[in-house]
Amino acid sequence: MVDLSKYGTYALIKKYRVYFKEGEKPAKITIERYLKTGEDYAILKLPDGKKFSPPPTKTPEDALNDPVISFNVK
């Protein structure tokens, strides 16, 4: 078996799709946990390809409610 502790591994916590208007491609929000530190990251990918990833947080809820994510979803 491979020793994953040597690598920067992430566990997927949750995926969201946010639709702004009917017929448009959705924005995607992924919440991941970095396994070495236990910190959670929210990654926002907009339909135009832009990505936003604020600093790590302690809980998935904090990651999702980070101002960087909420400002760019509106």
pLDDT of 74 reads 64
pLDDT at 5: 65
The number of beta carbons lying within 10 Å of the beta carbon of residue 42 is 26
List the chain domain ranges: 8-73
- One digit per residue, the tens of pLDDT, for the chain of length 74 reads 666 666 677 888 888 888 877 778 888 999 999 888 888 888 899 888 889 888 888 888 888 888 888 788 76
Q: Where are the beta strands (DSSP E) in the chain?
A: 10-18, 27-34, 40-45, 51-52
Could you tell me the pTM of the whole model? Answer: 0.70
